Chains A and B, each alone.
Chain A
């Protein structure tokens, strides 16, 4: 039946019509789909063409920063202090490494890898982004570079890269002047211009490297490159070269610096030498020093601890940050204040019995002279030359602490000198108000005496000492100490000299009074009773100065200072300030030897050596003896 049915109902015409109807429907459907495709392509290629072109360009073109070359640093004579040398390091791109453990094991056979380096590498491996390389080992030597290169085919994903690293050829000699650069830390990143530093790995951390960072760094360059999807550079499209940092010439004389640094031997201390006419810093020594090169590569935490925890504190720049009791080095300034107050009184000799007592002191406290037997009848000039304390107790008492404060402040004490380096401290020049603020106590007359001879609250830095010494020689004209002499654009070679910056001068001092003080300082060295007469032996020029011996701790009433009975840490600090030649001085120096003992016997000879070197070009032999 079914068969018959199908046969009887077959109608080719009807079937053909039905088929063609369905076909027409499908043609309509296909046309619709084609239109949808065309619409989509029109949308992509015409309407949104600009958008996708931008995306395609973004895919294709990368802008890579090019680090500028850091400016070089020279001393005043063109001796190289800081430059850049190529250094090789191993970089690993973990995505390209087939087997990290095997790769590291093979590398261990080729180069030395400390557990610390491996630990750091693995730590970075855990928290890195995709396709970012990780440094494994810095500072490969030539043999290591060769060994890794030869085995490169066994080390996929391992690259040898080179970078320019800062190097300080004179090492510790200039460490406190030049400072150093170190790898950019997270702390640095918070303050620096990240765009400018996007290609740089190092930044100035201390010293000149930090203070003149903007000049030394230069400005970044860029290259537009075409990269493929894997980030490999196919070609460079455009290049804007970086502007290298400027070359710096310092006022510091590295020979002078060397003589001064060596003169300290194993002592801790500091020395500042400046040109009194311009404020140019000729030498700035802080002993002990350190090798700045180790900081460039990045110190491991415990090495860093070793340096910072060292009892001698090598990183501490004593020339700017060491605050010491200035002791008798202040006497010339006090003397000048006395002359201005009452010339007749000042020139009037007093009788030094070896102690001094305030008129109405119920305790009858005796303020002692360093010389127990006393100096006898002493006038101002001798009081400075022989460093008589009794004279200055009396003078201080008559001046009063506020006037002392006024004069010392005029010479820049208690304030930063403004030297071109960070970290300078102010020292302390007390007055009544200062004590009220800091101790909430009234000022006692006895404190005036103690502070008048540079003890008590009084603190000064070596750079302040040299600054006032220079001002004394210039009739009160003062200049900002300047380490930078000139800078030069490495391309145009244009040299830009730094002009001296005048500070507020010490006004209204009678001309005659300057001479009296300078004469007394001349007598310190050349007088037969001068406190630094020891250094005048065989001297070929005239110099002047002032010794200082400042106590590190208070000697009890009635007790004596016995150096041999005290530990070295409690020995007196030895100080000396001086200048030469006596007429038309060309150099002013301050020196402090921590716990060195007597200023005349320990600090003055160092200054003599430095001035010898500066004026004569050599240290005069035989060495002066005491």
Chain B
């Protein structure tokens, strides 16, 4: 009996596999996810080549990071979900301890304490938390029947708030937002009551003024600038104004690869990292944007199908919240670059230059693949 409404949407498996398909299957690699991530990486490199002023060194670094990301994904895909489940409390506890350590002794970069210097390399515990938190909530909720009871919800609330608050304190608004949303997605998918959700939203809205007072000056400024960028056209509003100009001037067909004037004449700030979407929009126009969004939507859909097809609570909640968090990356980044949301430092997955969040995202896909490959063996 198949009660899964999404099972008809299945791609790839249950069909005759080619040689390479078999190889992928042996290593628990989901072909649709793998190839769409690969396609995304190639698009990312093409855009980065333009955004990074054709710097070969930059390209090489990013290629190495992508290779590392794919390697992490494949390695994690080899672990059985039950192993991940067993490790979850330890990973989460270690993550929280590291966040506390960062606050006490962390390295300061760009005015925020985010890094833990481990001698050989620097490590950002908040990245780990992006995965550890949904794992922890999924793990905790899977211990008892759903929907969760009140006491469980309080515990979940603590599991969620502790790392979110620690990351927000660094301060890193973008990451804490992503961490919190991954936990909230897990709770939501677990089926907490609508009444509770609505009352939480009301409490959230009521607490906004307090949150405002807790914010750092630069965070407050960002929000104000978001509300009216023209207030400060040469200061904080400059980012938003220049990126909307870049996107808007791209039109339907774009200015052509390497021909983006906003990016190549330095008008666009952070153009190879957080604002790389503006470069893509300027040079490839609405057509390029639609292609990119199509790939992202495809990946999201694939992730949700995997979640829907998994057979136990832990993997279901984890797969669902990881996929939804991936989508939040996309929505927050594009929303920010196109002026819909305030400027928060969230990269565009697999397109933005930079390594730490890339590895986290790929680790997430590794977990998804592991869940996909092992779904029928759990029960």
> What residues of chain A have their CB less than 8 Å away from a CB belonging to chain B?
6, 9-13, 15-24, 26-27, 30, 33-34, 36-38, 40-42, 44-46, 48-49, 51-53, 55-56, 59-60, 226-230, 234
- Shortest Cβ distance from residue A9 to the other chain B in the assembled complex, whole angstroms: 5
Any A CB within 8 A of the CB of B78: no
- Shortest Cβ distance from residue B263 to the other chain A in the assembled complex, whole angstroms: 10
> Cα distance A40–B261 when bound, in Å?
22
Given A26-B320, A49-B251, the answer on whether A34 and B293 have CB atoms closer than 8 Å is yes
Binds A, one of B79-87, B109-117, B140-148, B360-368: B140-148
Residues facing A in B1-28 (CB within 8 A) are 3-6
> Cα distance A490–B6 when bound, in Å?
83
- Shortest Cβ distance from residue A409 to the other chain B in the assembled complex, whole angstroms: 66
Given A23-B308, A45-B251, A45-B286, the answer on whether A59 and B261 have CB atoms closer than 8 Å is yes
> What residues of chain B have their CB less than 8 Å away from a CB belonging to chain A?
3-6, 143-147, 185, 188-191, 242, 244-252, 261-262, 265-267, 281, 285-286, 289-290, 293, 297, 300, 304, 307-308, 311, 313, 316-317, 320, 324, 327, 331, 334-335, 338-340
Given A22-B189, A23-B320, A37-B331, the answer on whether A49 and B313 have CB atoms closer than 8 Å is no
- Shortest Cβ distance from residue B372 to the other chain A in the assembled complex, whole angstroms: 15
- Shortest Cβ distance from residue A16 to the other chain B in the assembled complex, whole angstroms: 6
Question: A24–B244 contact, CB under 8 A?
Answer: no
Which 5 interchain pairs have the tightest Cβ spacing?
A: A52-B248, A56-B249, A229-B266, A228-B265, A44-B248
**Inside 8 A of B247's CB, which chain A residues have their CB?**
41, 44-45, 52
Question: A6–B144 contact, CB under 8 A?
Answer: yes
> Cα distance A23–B321 when bound, in Å?
10
Closest A residue to B289 by beta carbon equals A41
**Inside 8 A of B4's CB, which chain A residues have their CB?**
16, 20
Q: Of A37, A38, A42, A227, which is in contact with the most chain B CB atoms at under 10 Å from its CB?
A: A37
Question: B265–A227 contact, CB under 8 A?
Answer: yes
> Cα distance A227–B264 when bound, in Å?
10
Question: B191–A18 contact, CB under 8 A?
Answer: yes
Question: A30–B300 contact, CB under 8 A?
Answer: yes
Closest A residue to B332 by beta carbon equals A33
- Shortest Cβ distance from residue A10 to the other chain B in the assembled complex, whole angstroms: 4
Using A12-B311, A60-B265 as known contacts, list a sample of 14 further A-B pairs with CB atoms less than 8 Å apart, ordered by residue number in A: A11-B145, A15-B145, A16-B316, A19-B317, A23-B304, A26-B320, A30-B327, A34-B293, A37-B331, A41-B289, A44-B338, A56-B245, A59-B242, A59-B267
Question: A228–B266 contact, CB under 8 A?
Answer: yes
Q: Out of A15, A23, A42, name the residue touching B146 (CB < 8 Å).
A: A15
Could you pull out 21 A-B pairs where Cβ atoms are within 8 angstroms?
A: A16-B316, A19-B146, A19-B191, A19-B313, A26-B320, A27-B304, A44-B247, A44-B281, A45-B248, A45-B286, A49-B249, A49-B251, A51-B248, A52-B248, A55-B245, A59-B245, A59-B261, A60-B261, A60-B262, A60-B267, A230-B266
Question: B6–A56 contact, CB under 8 A?
Answer: no
Given A26-B320, A226-B265, A229-B267, the answer on whether A53 and B249 have CB atoms closer than 8 Å is yes
> Cα distance A41–B331 when bound, in Å?
12
Given A6-B145, A23-B320, A228-B266, the answer on whether A45 and B252 have CB atoms closer than 8 Å is yes
Q: Out of B143, B144, B249, B308, name the residue touching A52 (CB < 8 Å).
A: B249
Q: Is the interface of B mostly helix, strand, loop or mixed?
A: helix
Given A10-B145, A228-B265, the answer on whether A20 and B300 have CB atoms closer than 8 Å is no
**Inside 8 A of B320's CB, which chain A residues have their CB?**
19, 23, 26
**Inside 8 A of A40's CB, which chain B residues have their CB?**
335, 338-340
Question: B249–A9 contact, CB under 8 A?
Answer: no
- Shortest Cβ distance from residue B196 to the other chain A in the assembled complex, whole angstroms: 13
Question: A46–B286 contact, CB under 8 A?
Answer: yes
> Cα distance A378–B250 when bound, in Å?
100
- Shortest Cβ distance from residue A92 to the other chain B in the assembled complex, whole angstroms: 22
Question: B189–A23 contact, CB under 8 A?
Answer: yes
Q: Of A45, A53, A60, A226, which is in contact with the most chain B CB atoms at under 10 Å from its CB?
A: A45
Question: A46–B188 contact, CB under 8 A?
Answer: no
Closest A residue to B251 by beta carbon equals A49
**Inside 8 A of B146's CB, which chain A residues have their CB?**
15, 18-19
- Shortest Cβ distance from residue B145 to the other chain A in the assembled complex, whole angstroms: 4
**Inside 8 A of A48's CB, which chain B residues have their CB?**
248
**Inside 8 A of A27's CB, which chain B residues have their CB?**
304
> Cα distance A51–B293 when bound, in Å?
24
**Inside 8 A of B266's CB, which chain A residues have their CB?**
228-230
Question: B324–A30 contact, CB under 8 A?
Answer: yes
- Shortest Cβ distance from residue A616 to the other chain B in the assembled complex, whole angstroms: 70
**Inside 8 A of B250's CB, which chain A residues have their CB?**
45, 49
Question: A53–B145 contact, CB under 8 A?
Answer: no
Closest B residue to A230 by beta carbon equals B266
- Shortest Cβ distance from residue A234 to the other chain B in the assembled complex, whole angstroms: 7
- Shortest Cβ distance from residue A115 to the other chain B in the assembled complex, whole angstroms: 35
- Shortest Cβ distance from residue B281 to the other chain A in the assembled complex, whole angstroms: 7
**Inside 8 A of A59's CB, which chain B residues have their CB?**
242, 245, 261-262, 265, 267
**Inside 8 A of B246's CB, which chain A residues have their CB?**
56
Question: B188–A44 contact, CB under 8 A?
Answer: no
> Cα distance A30–B330 when bound, in Å?
11
**Inside 8 A of A38's CB, which chain B residues have their CB?**
290, 293
- Shortest Cβ distance from residue B104 to the other chain A in the assembled complex, whole angstroms: 36
Closest B residue to A36 by beta carbon equals B340
**Inside 8 A of B191's CB, which chain A residues have their CB?**
15, 18-19, 21-22
Question: B189–A26 contact, CB under 8 A?
Answer: yes
> Cα distance A21–B320 when bound, in Å?
12
> Cα distance A17–B146 when bound, in Å?
11
Question: B3–A37 contact, CB under 8 A?
Answer: no
Question: B307–A23 contact, CB under 8 A?
Answer: yes
> Cα distance A177–B338 when bound, in Å?
65
Question: B145–A37 contact, CB under 8 A?
Answer: no
> Cα distance A549–B250 when bound, in Å?
85
- Shortest Cβ distance from residue B354 to the other chain A in the assembled complex, whole angstroms: 22
> Cα distance A55–B190 when bound, in Å?
48
Given A16-B4, A27-B304, the answer on whether A56 and B324 have CB atoms closer than 8 Å is no
Question: B304–A26 contact, CB under 8 A?
Answer: yes
Closest B residue to A7 by beta carbon equals B145
**Inside 8 A of B331's CB, which chain A residues have their CB?**
33-34, 37
Given A30-B300, A51-B248, the answer on whether A17 and B340 have CB atoms closer than 8 Å is no
Question: A24–B5 contact, CB under 8 A?
Answer: yes
- Shortest Cβ distance from residue A200 to the other chain B in the assembled complex, whole angstroms: 29
